Amino acid sequence: MKHFVSMKHLSAAELLQLVQLAADIQAQGVSAYRQQLFAANLFFEPSTRTKMSFTVAERKLGLEVLDFAAEASSVTKGETVYDTAKTLQSIGASVLVIRHPEEGTAGMLAEKLDIPVINAGDGKGEHPTQCLLDLMTIYQEYGRFNGLKVVIAGDIRHSRVARSNALALQQLGAQVFAAGKPEWMDASMDLPVLSMDEAAAQCDVMMLLRIQFERHDKKEAAAGYLEEYGLTKAREKRMQPHSIIMHPAPVNRGIEIDDSLVEAPRSRIFRQMENGVAARMAVILTLLEGRGMQRGYNFDKREAVNS
């Protein structure tokens, strides 16, 4: 694995190895790199969880962080994304993390740069590290993916999280369904569509999505959404006893999900956030050690089995 830009390029075995490595890191800790290494974080869109968890992950690994801000860079003078990334590679970055509003940006940089590129979200394309922490959260709960019923509910047409998760979960043998407003579904993903009442009753995992109000009229999108398409307290009561609630956040409380359910016993929303650091450490370690950068400690190689 030279880059981490899409779930399309990963086998079930590779996905499971990353999930297991992230779990090992979380359980055992990890030694930092001894040589001086730099991680460049290029975020062209606002971010709290993704950006901060990458920063924590990098520092835990002993990497020094090059924290890029577009508004204070030569981007304001017309510099291209590629020239910015190439500059950071040239001055010594060992890995580059990119979030950009245009789909395909991370893939373009991966083709042109000599250092590993990690996609931290590209437009409506993919968000593979969010997917990995979601997989980690589901695996902690069930110890498997095969046969699980996962419902992705909400603004699917605009969601890079939905796309990455659908690809990875299907690769791992889960049954993936969609739910939400008909006009917010994405036919290209070819997912069976359920009503929210059907979804709540059938799912093992209810994966809610943020309404991307920046792409909709806010008042129109929010009006009556919870009652018709969100997770209400009544729907939560219909869920199976073992079923869990997930959401990549930020959460529009009282719209996608009843406020009281965000931290309900079956909610794993804040566990997802906690898992983000270990998941991103696992990706960075895999990429850097694939380039021969060694620490003083290595986890045993594990044979991944899709149970």
Question: What residue numbers does the annotated binding site cover?
Answer: 49-50, 77, 99, 127, 130, 160, 210, 249-250
65, 140, 134, 56: which is closest to 96 by C-alpha?
A: 65
Structure tokens at 303: 């044979």
- Give, to the nearest 10 degrees, the angle between helix 12-28 and helix 160-171: 110
Residues annotated as binding site for carbamoyl phosphate?
A: 49-50, 99, 127, 130, 249-250
Residue that has been written with the tokens 């001055």 in this structure: 91
Binding site for L-aspartate: which residues?
77, 160, 210
Task: Dump the DSSP string for the chain.
Answer: ---B--GGG--HHHHHHHHHHHHHHHHH--PPPSS--EEEEEESS--SHHHHHHHHHHHHTTPEEEEEEGGGSGGGGT--HHHHHHHHHHTTEEEEEEEESSTTHHHHHHHH-SS-EEEEEETTS--HHHHHHHHHHHHHHHS--TT-EEEEES-GGG-HHHHHHHHHHHHTT-EEEEES-GGG--GGG---EE-HHHHHHH-SEEEE----GGGS-HHHHHTTHHHHHSB-HHHHHHS-TT-EEE--S---BTTTB-GGGTTSTTB-HHHHHHHHHHHHHHHHHHHHHHTT---S--PPP------
